[in-house]
Amino acid sequence: MRSILVRITALGAAVAVLAAACGGGGGAPTQPSPTAAPAATAAAKPKFELASYQYAIQTKGKLKVGTREDNVPFGLKNPATCKFEGFDVDVVREFAIAIFGAEGKADPDKFIEYVPVVSATRIPTLKDNKADIVAATFTVNEERLKEIDFSTVYFRTGQKILVKKSDTTIKEVADLKGKTVCTAKGSTSEKNIAAKNKDAKLLLLDSYPPCLIALQQGQADAVSTDETILFGLVKQDPNTKIVGGYFSDEPYGIGIAKGRTGFAPFLNKVIADMIADGRWAALYKKHITPVSGDVKDGPHDKGRPGG
């Protein structure tokens, strides 16, 4: 009996150690520096209206953020460093800086509490107040606007086509006539293809990696879904390329719960400032250009070839 108890305790301790190794999510806790005067730090914080939600967050001292852990290049928990990274995450860090001022700028992660989400848990996470904002390639649409609020569009993408690099016949969605196009079943991508080109032959598999293999083997002529997912496939197989323009619209917004006074306009202002002063373009260059090869100045920019 005793030995079982000892084992359970040991197991518990081991689990605790493992959890601690990647725990927190907000980076290493930093001790407040004894030399920094608390008054000076407080003075560096931006002033908000007392009724606003950003003031509540500032007072709380933490911005709770729902993001994905496995969505390259937008939200990813780096398994080596246990830190979150990606385009969405860096946008969120800008919000933290805007709320917490100079101290936030020094280490935004100190003020951010990450709440991992998947597609299906994004709205519940907001409604149950588990997160203040959700930044996770979250497409703004009518149905969702009934449940939650969104910021302005901070990233815009759409459905595109992935073909082999050697392919010269498929350049846009109209060229898919009679071709075999692979996509995931149960996705809006399948609906979009069927709507845009009813002569395309759809090969429906469970996810995108088998689609990529089918493309590599020539069983499929093209793979089609959100460009952001195609970026990830190109990274896996550099012998493929993305062609054509968008034939669906996927505008991403920051999700927030309804009834957050003044919060959406505040986020919109931060997003607008980021686009205006080039921080947005810098983030695009950092996260998206390595896979897309283009540069953009803002979410509505058409983009042009970049180095």
Partner 1 sequence: MPDLGVRASVCARGGRKDLTMPGAIMFEFPDLFFTGLFLTVQLSVLGSIGALAAGTLIALFRISPIPPLRWVGVAYVEFFRNTPLLVQLFFLFLGLGALGFRFWTTDTFESIFRAGAAGMALYHGAYVAEVIRGGLLGVDKGQIEAARSLGLSYVQTLRYVQLPQTFRATIPPLGNIGIALIKNTSLASTIGVAELLQAAEIVESRTFRTEEAFGAVVLLYLVLTIPASLGVNWLERRLLVAR
**Positions in the binding site for partner 1 (CB under 8 A):** 119-120, 122-123, 139, 141-144, 146-147, 180, 182, 185-188, 190-191, 201, 203-206, 210, 213-214, 217, 219-220, 226
Query: How crowded is residue 86: how many other Cβ atoms within 10 Å of its Cβ?
Result: 26
Task: Give min distance, CB of 292 to partner 1, in A.
Answer: 20
Question: Omega of the bond prior to 210 within 30 degrees of 0, cis?
Answer: no
Task: Give min distance, CB of 133 to partner 1, in A.
Answer: 17
Task: Give min distance, CB of 87 to partner 1, in A.
Answer: 17
256 vs 105: CA distance, rounded Å: 23
Task: Give min distance, CB of 257 to partner 1, in A.
Answer: 14
Q: Specify the residue, 81 or 239, whose C-beta has the smaller distance to partner 1.
A: 239
144, 150 Cβ separation under 8 angstroms: yes
Give the pairing type, strands 70-71 and 63-67: unpaired
Q: Specify the residue, 134 or 288, whose C-beta has the smaller distance to partner 1.
A: 134
Task: Give min distance, CB of 247 to partner 1, in A.
Answer: 16
Sheet with 222-226: list strands edge to edge. 201-205, 180-184, 222-226, 159-164, 240-243
The gap between the terminal CA atoms of the chain, to the nearest Å, is 67
Q: Specify the residue, 94 or 175, whose C-beta has the smaller distance to partner 1.
A: 175
Q: Specify the residue, 30 or 219, whose C-beta has the smaller distance to partner 1.
A: 219
111 vs 192: CA distance, rounded Å: 40
279 vs 290: CA distance, rounded Å: 17
Query: How crowded is residue 258: how many other Cβ atoms within 10 Å of its Cβ?
Result: 12
Q: Specify the residue, 188 or 261, whose C-beta has the smaller distance to partner 1.
A: 188
Task: Give min distance, CB of 240 to partner 1, in A.
Answer: 16
Q: Specify the residue, 42 or 194, whose C-beta has the smaller distance to partner 1.
A: 194
Task: Give min distance, CB of 189 to partner 1, in A.
Answer: 8
182 vs 219: CA distance, rounded Å: 9
Helix 208-217 × helix 227-236 angle, to 10°: 60
**Residue 43 belongs to what H/E stretch?**
helix 38-44
Q: Specify the residue, 25 or 73, whose C-beta has the smaller distance to partner 1.
A: 73
Say which amino acid occupies 280: W
